[in-house]
C-alpha cells in the first residue's frame, strides 16, 4: 500500500481523489477492526471508557457527564485520567471506575479489571496506548497526547455496538458526542468503502487545519505548505500542499500527507538512547567520585551515594561543613575523607575531640598561648590546633558538647576569620577549613539554651546527614565483607567469610551503635572463629537472640520518621543549592509558606 496519503480537490473544494492512506490518516477509513453497524447509544448499553485526560480530545467530557453511566463522584476532576465501566442512563450495573489526578498519574501503566455478568472487561493504559478489552476482543487506540477511548456493548447479547477508532473528531464521534446521543457510522470490512469523490471536502472534515489550508490554496491563495508538521487525529504527520494550475489558472490543490509515527518511534528510540548515554555518564561520573578519594566511604545505597555526592562537593569547596548523625555512623571518617579529597590533601588535618576535652583546656588547645601567659603554662608557649591546621582542615568533633564560653570564642573565629592566642596581642588569621560534627540535635540544644543559635547558623553552611545503618540495610552485607577483610588483614588471621545465616542476622539487627558496633562485632567474631567461616555462633547473643528485638525496641514513632525524612530532604537540598533557600524551595516543589514553616520548625 502507498505510504503517502493524497487528496486532490478542485477549486470548488470538491474531492477528485482521496486515497486509502489519506482516509486512514484522516480517520474516514471504515474498515478498521471487527466492525459494527451504524447506530446510536441506547438506554442500558454497557459503556467502557478509557480517557487519559478528562476534557481533552473527548469532545469536552466533564466529570458531571459521567453521570450518564451512573458515576457521580465530586472527587473526579477535569484533566484526571479516568477508566470506567457503567450502563447508559440506567442503574442496572453499579459502575466500576478508577481515576487519578494529574499529580498522581506519573506512572505509565494503569489498569482497571472487572467482571460483568461473568465476562471479563478491562481498560489498560500502557505507554501510549489505551486498550479496552472485552473477553478476548481487544480495542487498542494509540495516542500521542490525549485521547478519549470508548467501547459500547449490547447489554443482552454483548455484541459490539460501537468502538472508537482514530479520526473520531473528524467524524464527529467524540466520546461526549456519542454519550449525547449523536449517531455513529458503521465500521468494519463489510462496510462499503466510504465514497467521497465529488463531495465537498468541508462536508467530511470540519475543523482540520490542513484541510482549510488545502481549500484556500485550491481557491487561489498563494501560500505554500511544504513538509509542515501536524498532528492529525493523534497521528504525527508531515504534509505539503501544492497548487494545481492548468494554462496558468488555479484549478485546485493537492495535499500530500505522510504518517511519520514510525519516524517518531525512531526519534523516541534515539532520545531514549541519548537519555541512556546521559545516565551512563552519570554513573561514570559517580564512579569518578569514587576515584576521587570517596571510594573509601562504603555504601551503595541511594542515601549513601547522596552522602558521597555531597561530600565530593564539600571537598571541592572551602565552606564550613557540619556533619550530623548518630554516633558511629562514620562522621569522623567522612570528615577525613573530605579533607583527603580536597585540593590540598597534603595540608594538615587536625581532629579535635571537643567532647573529650576539659573545658579549661579547650581554649588553650584550640588557640594556643604565649609563653608565661598563665601559671602552669609551658615556658615556650603553645601552638593551638587552629594554627597547626593552617592551610588545611580543623575537624571539631562533638561540637555539641562544648561549653557556652567556648562557643563564644569559636563564634568569634568564625566571624572574624582570626583569633588571638591566650595572652597574645597579635591577631592570627584562621586560615583553615572547618568541619564540625555532632550526634546531638542542635535545634533541641538551642531550645534548651545549651547551644548558641548564631554559632549554629555559622556552622550549618554545608550540612551533611549521615544516615544510621538501619536506614541503609542494603549496605550492610557489603560493609560486612569489606570491614571483615580489613580486620583479617589487621589480625593476620587469613581470609574469613560470613555464613549466609550469620549474614541474615547481621542484616536484620538494629545496629544502635552503627558502623562502629558492626566493626566491633566482626572483629570479635574474627577473633573467636577458629575456622574460615564466621557463623551465628560467633556473634554475641545480644545480636543472635534479638534478631529484630533491638531494632524494634529502637523503633521511633511514624511522626519521628516523617520529621527525620523532612529534615533530611531540606538539609540535603539546601546543601545542593548552596544554601539558597529560594532555589531549594523550587527544587523541592514546595509552597512558600510550607517551606518557611518547615525551615523555622527545624531551625535551619
Ligand atoms: N561508610 C563507611 N565505610 C567504611 N567504614 C566506615 C564507614 N562509616 C563508618 N565507618 C567506620 O566506622 C567506624 C565509626 O566511624 P566514625 O568514628 O567516623 O563515626 P562517628 O560518626 O564519627 O562516631 P562518633 O559520633 O561516635 O564520633 C570507624 O572505624 C569508621 O572507619
Q: Check pocket membership of 332 for ligand 1, CB cut-off 6 A.
A: yes
DSSP state, residue 187? B
- Angle between helix 302-315 and 261-291 (nearest 10): 60
- Ligand 1 site-directed mutation target among 296, 306, 332, most atoms within 8 Å of CB: 332
Mean pLDDT, range 303-312, rounded to an integer: 87
Q: Check pocket membership of 299 for ligand 1, CB cut-off 6 A.
A: yes
Confidence (pLDDT) at 549: 44
Measure the CA–CA gap between 22 and 233, rounded to whole angstroms.
12
Measure the CA–CA gap between 483 and 522, rounded to whole angstroms.
8
Q: What share of the chain is helix, strand, coil (3-state, %, to 5)?
A: 40, 25, 40
Q: Check pocket membership of 298 for ligand 1, CB cut-off 6 A.
A: yes
Which cell goes with 226? 511544504
**426 Rama class: left (phi>0) / alpha (psi -120 to 50) / beta:** beta
Q: What is the pLDDT of residues 455-480, one digit of tens each?
A: 998 998 889 999 999 888 889 988 99
Q: Check pocket membership of 534 for ligand 1, CB cut-off 6 A.
A: no
**Contact criterion met (CB below 8 Å) for 303 and 472:** yes
Cα(514) to centroid of ligand 1, in Å? 8
Confidence (pLDDT) at 407: 93
Residue 443 in this model has a pLDDT that exceeds 90: no
Confidence (pLDDT) at 548: 45
* SS3 assignment, position 463: strand
pTM of the model: 0.50
Cα(335) to centroid of ligand 1, in Å? 10
Mean pLDDT, range 137-154, rounded to an integer: 87
Minimal-distance CA residue to ligand 1 atom 29:
516
Which cell goes with 261? 509515527
Q: Check pocket membership of 330 for ligand 1, CB cut-off 6 A.
A: yes
Share of the chain above pLDDT 70, in %: 88
Confidence (pLDDT) at 180: 95
Measure the CA–CA gap between 374 and 288, rounded to whole angstroms.
51
- Angle between helix 404-416 and 359-367 (nearest 10): 20
Measure the CA–CA gap between 154 and 137, rounded to whole angstroms.
15
Confidence (pLDDT) at 550: 44
Indicate the pLDDT class of residue 286, thresholds 50, 70 and 90. Answer: low
Confidence (pLDDT) at 206: 64
Residue 571 in this model has a pLDDT that exceeds 60: yes
**Contact criterion met (CB below 8 Å) for 281 and 47:** no
Q: What is the pLDDT of residues 414-424, one digit of tens each?
A: 988 999 988 88
Indicate the pLDDT class of residue 389, thresholds 50, 70 and 90. Answer: very high
Atom from ligand 1 closest to the CA of residue 466? 21
Q: Check pocket membership of 467 for ligand 1, CB cut-off 6 A.
A: no
Minimal-distance CA residue to ligand 1 atom 10:
330
**Contact criterion met (CB below 8 Å) for 166 and 27:** yes
Of the listed ranges 242-246, 293-297, 299-303, 533-537, the least confidently predicted one is 293-297
C-alpha to C-alpha distances, 145 to 24, 53, 434, nearest whole angstrom:
19, 9, 53
Q: Check pocket membership of 515 for ligand 1, CB cut-off 6 A.
A: yes
Measure the CA–CA gap between 296 and 282, rounded to whole angstroms.
20
Query: Is the pLDDT higher at 172 or at 179?
Result: 179
Confidence (pLDDT) at 4: 85
Rg (CA), the chain: 36
Confidence (pLDDT) at 438: 96
Q: Check pocket membership of 327 for ligand 1, CB cut-off 6 A.
A: yes
Confidence (pLDDT) at 290: 58
Q: What is the pLDDT of residues 80-92, one digit of tens each?
A: 899 999 999 987 7
**Contact criterion met (CB below 8 Å) for 97 and 79:** no
Cβ neighbourhood burial of 127 (10 Å; 0-12, 13-18, 19+):
exposed
Confidence (pLDDT) at 357: 85
Q: Check pocket membership of 329 for ligand 1, CB cut-off 6 A.
A: yes
ipTM confidence score: 0.94
Q: What is the pLDDT of residues 248-277, one digit of tens each?
A: 899 999 999 988 776 666 666 666 666 666
* SS3 assignment, position 77: coil
Which cell goes with 348? 594538615
Q: Check pocket membership of 328 for ligand 1, CB cut-off 6 A.
A: yes
Q: What is the pLDDT of residues 241-251, one digit of tens each?
A: 999 988 889 99
Q: Check pocket membership of 337 for ligand 1, CB cut-off 6 A.
A: no
Query: Is the pLDDT higher at 231 or at 97?
Result: 97
Q: What is the pLDDT of residues 331-375, one digit of tens each?
A: 999 999 999 999 899 999 999 999 888 888 888 899 998 876 666
Mean pLDDT, range 291-313, rounded to an integer: 82
Indicate the pLDDT class of residue 551, thresholds 50, 70 and 90. Answer: very low
Average pLDDT, the chain: 85
Cα(454) to centroid of ligand 1, in Å? 28
Mean pLDDT, range 46-63, rounded to an integer: 92
Residue 382 in this model has a pLDDT that exceeds 90: no
Atom from ligand 1 closest to the CA of residue 325? 21
Measure the CA–CA gap between 175 and 292, rounded to whole angstroms.
59
Indicate the pLDDT class of residue 547, thresholds 50, 70 and 90. Answer: very low
Instruction: Give per-residue burial for 339-354: e unless 16+ CB within 10 Å, then b.
Output: bbbbeeeebbbbbbeb
Other CB atoms within 10 A of residue 394 CB: 26
Amino acid at each position: 500500500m502507498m505510504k503517502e496519503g493524497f487528496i486532490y480537490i478542485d477549486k470548488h473544494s470538491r474531492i477528485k481523489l482521496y486515497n486509502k492512506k489519506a482516509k486512514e490518516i484522516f480517520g474516514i477509513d471504515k474498515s478498521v477492526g471487527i466492525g459494527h453497524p451504524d447506530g446510536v447509544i441506547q438506554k442500558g448499553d454497557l459503556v467502557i471508557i478509557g480517557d487519559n485526560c478528562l476534557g481533552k480530545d473527548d469532545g469536552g467530557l466533564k466529570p458531571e457527564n459521567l453521570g450518564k453511566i451512573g458515576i457521580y463522584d465530586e472527587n473526579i476532576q477535569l484533566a484526571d485520567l479516568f477508566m470506567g465501566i457503567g450502563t447508559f442512563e440506567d442503574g442496572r450495573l453499579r459502575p466500576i471506575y478508577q481515576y487519578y489526578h494529574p499529580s498522581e498519574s506519573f506512572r505509565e501503566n494503569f489498569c482497571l479489571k472487572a467482571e460483568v455478568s461473568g465476562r471479563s472487561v478491562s481498560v489498560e493504559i500502557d505507554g501510549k496506548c489505551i486498550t479496552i478489552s472485552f473477553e478476548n476482543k481487544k480495542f487498542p487506540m494509540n495516542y500521542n497526547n490525549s485521547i478519549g477511548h470508548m467501547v459500547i456493548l449490547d447489554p443482552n447479547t454483548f455484541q459490539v455496538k460501537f468502538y472508537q477508532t482514530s479520526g473520531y473528531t473528524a467524524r464527529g464521534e467524540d466520546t461526549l458526542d456519542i454519550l449525547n446521543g449523536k449517531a455513529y457510522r458503521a465500521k468494519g470490512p463489510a462496510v462499503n468503502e466510504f465514497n467521497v469523490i465529488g463531495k465537498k471536502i468541508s462536508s467530511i472534515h470540519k475543523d482540520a487545519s490542513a484541510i482549510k489550508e488545502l481549500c484556500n490554496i485550491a481557491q487561489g491563495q498563494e501560500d505554500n505548505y511544504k513538509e509542515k508538521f501536524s498532528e492529525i487525529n493523534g497521528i504525527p504527520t508531515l504534509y505539503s500542499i501544492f497548487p494545481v494550475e492548468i494554462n496558468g489558472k488555479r484549478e485546485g490543490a493537492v495535499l500530500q500527507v505522510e504518517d511519520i509515527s514510525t519516524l517518531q518511534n525512531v526519534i523516541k528510540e534515539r532520545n531514549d538512547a541519548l537519555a541512556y548515554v546521559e545516565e551512563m555518564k552519570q554513573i561514570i561520573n559517580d564512579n569518578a567520585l569514587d576515584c576521587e578519594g570517596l571510594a573509601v566511604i562504603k555504601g551503595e545505597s541511594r542515601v549513601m551515594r547522596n552522602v558521597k555526592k555531597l561530600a565530593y562537593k564539600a571537598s571541592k569547596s572551602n565552606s564550613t561543613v557540619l556533619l550530623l548523625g548518630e554516633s558511629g555512623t562514620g562522621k569522623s571518617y567522612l570528615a577525613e575523607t573530605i579533607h583527603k579529597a580536597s585540593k590540598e590533601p597534603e595540608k594538615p588535618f587536625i581532629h579535635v575531640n571537643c567532647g573529650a576535652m576539659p573545658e579549661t583546656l579547650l581554649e588553650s588547645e584550640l588557640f594556643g598561648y604565649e609563653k608565661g601567659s598563665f601559671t602552669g603554662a609551658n615556658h615556650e608557649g603553645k601552638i593551638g590546633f587552629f594554627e597547626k591546621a593552617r592551610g588545611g582542615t580543623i575537624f571539631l568533633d562533638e561540637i555539641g558538647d562544648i561549653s557556652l564560653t567556648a562557643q563564644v570564642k569559636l563564634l568569634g573565629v568564625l566571624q572574624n576569620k582570626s583569633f588571638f592566642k591566650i595572652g597574645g596581642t597579635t591577631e592570627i588569621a584562621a586560615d583553615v577549613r572547618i568541619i564540625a560534627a555532632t550526634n546531638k540535635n542542635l535545634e533541641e540544644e538551642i531550645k534548651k539554651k545549651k547551644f548558641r543559635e548564631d554559632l549554629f547558623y555559622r556552622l550549618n553552611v554545608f550540612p551533611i546527614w549521615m544516615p544510621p545503618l538501619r536506614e541503609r540495610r542494603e549496605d550492610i552485607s557489603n560493609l560486612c565483607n569489606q570491614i571483615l577483610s580489613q580486620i583479617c588483614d589487621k589480625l593476620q588471621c587469613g581470609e574469613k567469610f560470613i555464613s549466609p545465616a550469620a549474614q541474615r542476622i547481621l542484616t536484620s539487627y538494629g545496629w544502635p551503635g552503627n558502623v562502629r558496633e558492626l566493626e566491633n562485632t566482626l572483629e570479635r567474631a574474627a577473633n573467636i572463629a577458629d575456622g574460615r567461616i564466621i557463623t551465628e555462633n560467633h556473634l554475641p547473643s545480644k545480636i543472635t537472640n534479638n534478631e529484630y528485638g533491638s531494632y524494634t525496641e529502637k523503633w521511633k514513632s511514624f511522626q519521628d520518621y516523617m520529621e527525620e525524612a523532612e529534615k533530611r530532604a531540606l538539609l540535603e537540598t539546601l546543601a545542593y543549592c548552596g544554601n539558597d533557600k529560594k532555589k531549594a524551595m523550587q527544587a523541592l516543589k514546595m509552597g512558600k509558606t510550607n517551606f518557611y514553616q518547615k525551615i523555622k520548625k527545624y531551625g535551619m
